[in-house]
Amino acid sequence: MIYLDSSFLIELVEDPGPWGAAADASMAGSPDEVFAVSPLVLMECLAGPLKENDFDLEDTYRQAVAGFHMISLDQSVFERAARLRATANVKTPDAIHWAAARLGGCASLWTADGRFAKASSGFAVDQFAGLRGE
């Protein structure tokens, strides 16, 4: 199972160019894989459409998330996130994504955030590093 963080899902859903194509290709290259998200992914992805009253984009995100395995966020996720936040110097949302993925049984986490990928000691994989020439 692979966890998709908000930055990955935003590129997948909203970018009609090379980043969206890279996200599509990543997922197509893993046809038998189960992809997972958490309620935090949905919250972060809905913030923009809600702010802009973009009901179509809001619905697109809701439909996209409905197609993935949902990892719940319970107290153990937040406790693990606190440890990751303290030891890996990542932002709170990234720590929650990381903890949810780990405790949810995911083998890796796909992101569009190179800084997060570096901080995660290889667990988070920046699927767009090649587009940035990294």
pLDDT in tens, 48-79: 999 999 999 999 999 999 999 999 999 999 99
Question: Does 125 score more than 70 pLDDT?
Answer: yes
pLDDT for 132: 73
User: What is the pLDDT, as a whole number, of residue 134?
Assistant: 63
Q: Show the tokens assigned to 41.
A: 């992914």
Cα distances from 48 to residues 17, 31, 52, 112, 120, in angstroms, run 19, 29, 6, 17, 26
Coil, strand or helix: which one is 111?
strand
What is the residue whose two structure tokens read 């988070």? 124
Residue-range domains of the chain with CATH: 2-72+106-132 (3.40.50.1010)
Query: Binning pLDDT at 50, 70 and 90, where does residue 113 land?
Result: very high
The pTM for the full model equals 0.95
Contact 131, 26 (CB under 8 A): no
